[in-house]
Structure 1
Amino acid sequence: MDFEFGVEDEAFRSEAREWFHAHPPQRGDPRAWERELGAGGWVGIGWGAGGFGNRTASLTQQVVWGEEYARAGGPTRLGHIGENLLAPTLLAHGTEEQRRRFLPPIARGEELWCQGYSEPGAGSDLAGVRTRAVRDGDRYLISGQKIWTSLALDADWCFVLARTEEGSVRHRGLSFLLVPMDQPGRIEVRPIRQMSGTSEFNEVFFDGAVAHARDLVGAEGDGWRVAMGLLALERGVSTLVQQVGFAVELEDVIRTAVRNGAVRDPVLAERLVRQWAELRVMRWNALRTLGRTDDPGAPSVAKLLWGGWHRRLGELAMAVRGAAATSGPGPWDGAYELDDQQRMFLFSRADTIYGGSDEIQRNIIAERVLGLPREAKEESR
Structure 2
Amino acid sequence: MSLSASARIDIERFWTTIDRSGEIGVGRPGGLSRLTLSDADKQVRDEFVDWCRQAGLSIRIDGIGNIFARRAGQDDTLPPVVMGSHLDTQVNGGRFDGIAGVLGGLEVCRALDALGHRTRRPLEIVNWTNEEGGRFSPPMVGSGCFTGTYTLDWARGRTDDDGVTIGQELERIGYLGEMAESPHPFDAYFEFHIEQGPILDREGTQVGVVTGGFASTGMLVEFRGETAHTGPWPMERRKNALVAGARLLVAVDDLGWEHAGTGGKATGSRLVAWPNKPGILSDWAQAVCDVRHPDPATTEVMAERVRRAIGEAAARTGCTAEILDVWNWGGRIFADELIDGVRDISQGLGYRTQDILSQAGHDAYFVARHAPTAMIFAPCKGGITHNNQELCTREDLEPGLNVLLRAVVARADR
Give the structure-2-normalised TM-score: 0.28
Structure with larger RCO (C-alpha < 8 A, sep 6+): 2
Higher helix share: 1
Give the structure-1-normalised TM-score: 0.30
